[in-house]
Amino acid sequence: MAGDSFGKLFTVTSFGESHGPALGCIVTGCPPGLELTEADLQKDLDRRRPGRSRHVTQRKEPDAVRILSGVFEGVTTGTAIGLLIENMDQRSRDYEKIKDKVRPGHADYTYMQKYGIRDYRGGGRASARETAMRVAAGGIARKYLHERLGVRIRGYLAQLGPYTLEPLDLDAVDSNPFFCADPGQLENLEEYMIQLRRDGDSIGARINIIASGMPVGLGEPVFDKLDAAVAHAMMSINAVKGVELGDGFKVIEQRGSEHRDEITADGFLKNSSGGTLGGISSGQDLLVSIALKPTSSIQKAGTTVDTKGAPAEIVTTGRHDPCVGLRATPIAEAMLALTLMDHYLRHRAQNADVQVGGRIGATATKR
Amino acid sequence: MAGDSFGKLFTVTSFGESHGPALGCIVTGCPPGLELTEADLQKDLDRRRPGRSRHVTQRKEPDAVRILSGVFEGVTTGTAIGLLIENMDQRSRDYEKIKDKVRPGHADYTYMQKYGIRDYRGGGRASARETAMRVAAGGIARKYLHERLGVRIRGYLAQLGPYTLEPLDLDAVDSNPFFCADPGQLENLEEYMIQLRRDGDSIGARINIIASGMPVGLGEPVFDKLDAAVAHAMMSINAVKGVELGDGFKVIEQRGSEHRDEITADGFLKNSSGGTLGGISSGQDLLVSIALKPTSSIQKAGTTVDTKGAPAEIVTTGRHDPCVGLRATPIAEAMLALTLMDHYLRHRAQNADVQVGGRIGATATKR
Amino acid sequence: MAGDSFGKLFTVTSFGESHGPALGCIVTGCPPGLELTEADLQKDLDRRRPGRSRHVTQRKEPDAVRILSGVFEGVTTGTAIGLLIENMDQRSRDYEKIKDKVRPGHADYTYMQKYGIRDYRGGGRASARETAMRVAAGGIARKYLHERLGVRIRGYLAQLGPYTLEPLDLDAVDSNPFFCADPGQLENLEEYMIQLRRDGDSIGARINIIASGMPVGLGEPVFDKLDAAVAHAMMSINAVKGVELGDGFKVIEQRGSEHRDEITADGFLKNSSGGTLGGISSGQDLLVSIALKPTSSIQKAGTTVDTKGAPAEIVTTGRHDPCVGLRATPIAEAMLALTLMDHYLRHRAQNADVQVGGRIGATATKR
Amino acid sequence: MAGDSFGKLFTVTSFGESHGPALGCIVTGCPPGLELTEADLQKDLDRRRPGRSRHVTQRKEPDAVRILSGVFEGVTTGTAIGLLIENMDQRSRDYEKIKDKVRPGHADYTYMQKYGIRDYRGGGRASARETAMRVAAGGIARKYLHERLGVRIRGYLAQLGPYTLEPLDLDAVDSNPFFCADPGQLENLEEYMIQLRRDGDSIGARINIIASGMPVGLGEPVFDKLDAAVAHAMMSINAVKGVELGDGFKVIEQRGSEHRDEITADGFLKNSSGGTLGGISSGQDLLVSIALKPTSSIQKAGTTVDTKGAPAEIVTTGRHDPCVGLRATPIAEAMLALTLMDHYLRHRAQNADVQVGGRIGATATKR
């Protein structure tokens, strides 16, 4: 199986190139009886959509999703859900001039070497355009998790280049183009992005994602710990180069007496572990953080080779995101939703009838 | 499928509890014709073995591995390879006194909630003892990768609590109990560990792993990028809370003009990406870094509850590693070997007959 | 993973209901560099298409397939191939009158019990209409197998109710609406089908499928023998209730001295085993035979219950195949192609560099 | 993944050669809380054991199974269950004389071609000896299905060469060495087998397996119909060349009005379909029938080639079953148990909270 599928029970399989006629995916394993409309999925697609602000790619795509199967009279039937988004603004002529060049920092070289052929129009399959289907499919998982289990997944921009941003007001995230929960810094971000565009350059970012209302018990021993599944999901997003759970890389300098989350009858006293113990969800908030690299498609000239190996210079003038992190929040949320949904079904398959007492639930510490 | 399997084509499935009679695994998909003896696997098992120095758990386990199938007249036959290690020094009576307590930072609570039952002897399935089988299975992958493809996988301790350690001499790694490549710091590490034990506390660590001699083309588009597979593999190791490829979290503050690895006819000018482009190996060194938390089994008293939810105090007096990072290097190496081997076979299945020119190989920059 | 996927490396995942807006599938794992157009797939789709003769359902569907991704400048790129067929002639009002009845011999009852909801229009997901996507996807496999490996897959109608049909002229199969290779019997079949329609009844059939030019070595030990994979593939086709390889059920009365296919330097002396030994292809022709039940959608009144459990009478007047076996030949061929393609890639992944002599190839007996 | 694993959620992965030191398997996904001892598994292993009567191979193997993990204080913990059986009576010197010959009807040729190497001792991995692990693992599934869901799985010898045997008394099956439920024919069978041994020949057989007390809803749409899963499971057993569900190949000559199982408020009027509708279990008895070929290891001289391709004569004098069907009943039962268990968990994962009325359960016709 090539890498176009995610999940073992709640499974998404996608197809589609940046400049092909359409993108699509098939979601299998969705429990029946979930109310579902295209509007439910469009909401998150609109959050990810290009052209929403002047700080992201100006490609004009409505990204209107169609549900082609698996929903009957407004509810899921339990059978495969086919989703389709047509590409409207392809402008593939933009790519003629770089078709013979190997763009540094892009998949051009590796796809060419792996397959002996590549669709050079906008990165083809390697384009972040495929993340639209992650968001569409993730919307189904998200709705189920929220309506049936009370899980809420929220992300925010935690750092943009030099600016560290606090999660002061998560409700503000959707009212600004940065997915920023630190409204006092918005002006700085605006100015930073304007200067960046003038410089013809790009910048990295950090996104944090939190799942609250977590069920206890998700994740499997050994190789499929929830941590591993989350890391896999996040690192599969284009441009992600680092993943942390809980205190992440800070644990290196922590002592055990400082790191371990002590427990009282009222719950955990803190959440350094980030919501898992032994790889299985503890009911605490799941805390995930990811690092996204700056896009390599910039207007500053760079050194490279052409497809025959001869030296060349490259300048990317197409429509690109100067900070891919700016549109990554709904994608990361979607990937977390898909991961949790899959592990919820895996857990339920094996342990549906387990009865336990002593749950430390009411006051499980969030942060 | 529960989480006991890793890999799609080169697959390891393992079993075994910390204090059960034995651990074992089955490796399937190994190409035939590889010379293989138990000694080949024992080498890495000995590097991971408990009791090797005074800084790690004093449990006495020879960890002698037996090959029960899949090898005939000294070479692999292509059929399933069964491996077995018997547990010798179980001392499970140590655990009687904590069987009714929920150890903070451990899987006690989550296993109990997930399954309604748990093997409380030394963490049962959640014990890091299972990593012995990762190392054994990884040894097969490692041998194939090295002998057939020229891939070399090496790890080292990059940070121990406050001490940052440079990869000055990778050949020194196996001659000290810290897997340290920075010999000038050995004395500091010794003293630090002695003091830590006196304190009855534990500490986190960072391990870096490098694969050199990499084939180009490993990894799949979209969800199974090599980055994602590596992140999954690493985050599945007990105590790992963060994973980075290449520049990792440093990319957040990088600009595109700084991050992108420019290309000349002689190869890449640097390796910020850490060896993948678009999720597929570029032939550059694969650069991986992981953070391991301090173990929660320490002698400092902590607050917790018992299995009935009543407040309790816990002190762990058993045989434990004060820094789980100290034995993690061969485990991380093994997981990287398993990941690369699996992706090599996946790549070969689809692309065995692809012919390409223009490989940037000879001088692909390593770091 | 629900049952919408087939194959481990060359994988088809499909969606679509009989009366939804469209059917589609995603094919992953296809090797790059294969020339592929929609016309290549349309050929077999036309063979399966409804309305081709008066003996099959009169639903009018052009079944025009679109390739939405994975093909660039006329060749496969190695990335996911999205295929789509729009439903044109849905007439779902036909189904209003049976929406509250449980049709005997159909999936109505079981889908209702499994999912608590069902799309009653023409069987929804359980309709044989989904087999269009098997044929489309199978066309890709078939083309690869034929062009790269020289494998040829041909099926024919071997029995229609009381008429046993010999494979006298396989080239005649596509020139009559029965996929019959026994031209002398065509008149009998015509008359039989006319009388059957007058009776308002349906009939079962046997289809045989042969793969010639087989590579040696396809199939895996133990659970994934090629025989098992073929049986899985065939039994997944709607209405199939029996599968045989080689001599099939006749082996019950055979002695070992009669059954075993003796070997000479020139090849096997016969082919009772049907092309596999120990579950692995021997290079002989692969001989498969399947039994298809008569459709339960007939005009003769039958006894049943309604969805509330009350007694009811049912008569099916819609557009149905009086012999589902008549259109099954291209479907069975497609499933065999998908099976062989998947196993070819699995075999190549593990054994790409195995060198052997002594192949019994030149004259491997076919029948 | 090579073919050593079966099942997606309740998964068995096995290893072991006929003449290696041991056989073993790992069962993952077993729900926690099931009481389980080695004696529970030994029961079926003893039914399959060689040397039980003079009509089967005289190899002396106690086949004593050890549980190495996954069971704590007498109940399953939900973690991986490791099982091990040591080979005691290997006598591999028997095979020296045939090591250079390609036995007709055996996997010698295909394994050699596939892997370039083979373990010639008793067929190595291709030996039916691996079925011991199927029976051991199947015993766990069987116990769960029976205790938790009330499913009962029983098989019997339905035909031995020319003798057709009726299921007159299923309780008699375990009191004779033929798994025969038709006691009046035992004497014929005895005589037939004695004469067969005198002839130095072997014979085929038919085994029927029935699962009663079936839950409704097992099986998935499209490719993973329960029929397909059962066919896969059965056809993976050594020597099986045909599989039927319900009326099987008889459906070819049936009319729809005859085949369809009509329904009344009291249940189905008959069971031609064999317990599935649209690939999903209906609650009726699951009726499966399989054909096993005669073993090719016989004392009658046969024509073959040696491993260099030169003509040779072969006579097999080792310890072999003159009718492999005689020991196949517990193996087929085990495979059915594994299939149903896996599909029960798959169904529960997706549909655990589906509430439906109108179940036709009380009087679902069995035959």
Nearest to B222 among A236, A260, A294 (CB): A236
- The minimal CB distance from B294 to the residues A116, A251, A307 is found for A251
- The chains found to touch B (3+ Cβ pairs under 8 angstroms) are A, C, D
Q: What is the residue-averaged pLDDT of chain D?
A: 93
The alpha helices in chain D, defined as continuous H runs, are 38-48, 108-115, 131-149, 186-199, 226-235, 256-259, 328-351
Q: Of C9, C14, C68, which is closest to A22 when you measure between CB atoms?
A: C68
Q: Name every chain C residue with its beta carbon within 8 A of the beta carbon of A17.
A: 69-70, 72, 79
Q: What is the 3-state secondary structure (H, E, C) of C292-334?
A: ECCCCCCCCCEEEEECCCCEEEECCCCCCCCCHHHHHHHHHHH
pLDDT tens per residue, range D152-195: 999 999 999 999 999 999 999 999 999 999 999 999 999 999 99
Q: Provide DSSP, B273-301.
A: S-SEETTEE-SSPEEEEEEEPPPS--SS-
Six-digit token string for D329 = 């009943």
Q: Judge whether residue D76 has pLDDT over 90.
A: yes
Per DSSP, chain B holds a count of helices (H) and strands (E) of 7, 18
SS3 at position D206:
strand
CA-based radius of gyration for chain D: 21
pLDDT at A227 over 80: yes
Amino acid at D366: K
Neighbours of D190 (CB within 10 A): 16
Residues in Cβ contact with B213 at an 8 Å cutoff, skipping those fewer than 6 apart: B149, B150, B151, B152
Task: Kindly state the average pLDDT of the residues B121-137.
Answer: 94
- pTM exceeds 0.90: yes
Average pLDDT over chain A reads: 93
For residue D8, which residues of chain A lie inside 8 Å, CB to CB?
8
With an 8 Å Cβ cutoff, are C348 and B351 in contact?
A: no
| pLDDT one-digit tens code per residue, B45-101 | 999 988 778 888 878 889 999 999 999 999 999 999 999 999 987 766 667 777 889
Over residues C150-167, the pLDDT tens digits come to 999 999 999 999 999 999
pLDDT classification of A364: cutoffs 50, 70, 90: low
Task: List the beta strands (DSSP E) in A87-151.
Answer: none
CB atoms under 10 Å from CB of C39, counted, come to 8
The CA-CA-CA angle for residues A179, A183, A186, to 5°, reads 75
Q: Which of C228, C260, C261 sits opposite D236 (nearest CB)?
A: C228
Q: Which residue has the higher pLDDT, A314 or A69?
A: A69
pLDDT in tens, C58-110: 778 899 999 999 999 999 999 999 999 999 877 666 677 778 899 999 999 99
Closest C-alpha among C18, D61, B329, C4 to residue A72: C18
C-alpha B111, offset from chain centre? 22
Burial pattern D122-135, b for ≥16 Cβ within 10 A else e, equals bbbbbbbbbbbbbb
Nearest CB to C252; choose among D123, D159, D250: D159
pLDDT at residue A308, rounded to an integer: 85
Residues in B closer than 8 angstroms to C354, CB to CB, are 31-33
Which residue(s) pair with B337 in the sheet? none
Helix (H, G, I), strand (E, B) or coil at C366: coil
Task: Say whether pLDDT at D94 is over 80.
Answer: no
On chain D, the residues whose CB falls within 8 A of the CB of B7 are: 1
Beta-carbon contacts of B120 under 8 Å, excluding residues fewer than 6 positions away, are B95, B98, B99, B108
> Which one has a higher pLDDT value, D299 or D334?
D334
* Residue B160: strand, helix, or coil: strand
Distance CA D317, CA D330 (A): 26
Identify the contact set of chain B against chain C, taking CB-CB distances under 8 A.
8-9, 29-33, 78-80, 221-222, 345-346, 348-354
Average pLDDT on A169-190 reads: 96
Given a cut of 50, the residues of chain C with pLDDT beneath it are 362-363
Instruction: Check residue D98 and give its pLDDT.
Output: 78
Who contacts A284 (Cβ-Cβ below 8 Å, separation ≥6)? A214, A261, A268, A271, A273, A274, A275, A364, A365, A366
* Lowest mean per-residue pLDDT among A7-21, D53-67, D71-85: D53-67
Kindly report the three-state secondary structure assignment for every residue of A50-78: CCCCCCCCCCCCCCCEEECCCEECCEECC
Q: Are B86 and B19 in contact (CB under 8 A)?
A: no
> Which of B5, B26, B36 to mutate against chain D (most D CBs within 10 Å)?
B26
Q: How many CB pairs under 8 A join A and C?
A: 172
State the DSSP string of C27-92. EE-PPTT-B--HHHHHHHHHHH-TTSSTTS--------EEE-SSEETTEE-SSPEEEEEE-----G
Residues A72-105: b if buried by 16+ CB within 10 A, e if exposed: beebbbbbbbbbbbbbeebebebbeebeebbbbb
Tokens matching residue D31: 């729900």
Rounded Cα distance, D299 and D201, in Å: 6
Given an 8 Å threshold on Cβ–Cβ distance, is D69 in contact with B20? yes
User: Given a cut of 50, is residue D24 above it in pLDDT?
Assistant: yes
**What pLDDT score does D230 carry?**
98
**Interface A-D: count of C-beta contacts within 8 A:** 53
Q: What's the start-to-end Cα distance of chain B, in Å?
A: 38
**Choice among A261-265, B71-75, B320-324, C103-107 with the minimum mean pLDDT:** B320-324
Phi-psi region of B291 (alpha: psi -120 to 50; beta: other; left: phi over 0): beta
Amino acid identity, residue C304?
T
**Nearest-by-Cβ selection for A69 from C20, C68, C72:** C20
Phi, psi angles (nearest 5°) of residue C296: -90, -5
Chain B residues within 8 A of C350 when measuring between CB atoms? 9, 29-32, 78, 345
Residue B199, helix vs strand vs coil: helix
Percent of chain B with pLDDT over 70: 96
pLDDT higher than 90, residue B321: no
Chains meeting C at 3+ CB pairs closer than 8 A? A, B, D
| pLDDT value at B343 more than 50 | yes
Distance from CA of B71 to the nearest CA of A (A): 25
pLDDT at B293 over 90: yes
- The confidence score (pLDDT) of residue D363 equals 45
- Can you give the pLDDT at residue B239? 97
User: Angle at CA C349, nearest 5°, toward C343 and C354?
Assistant: 100
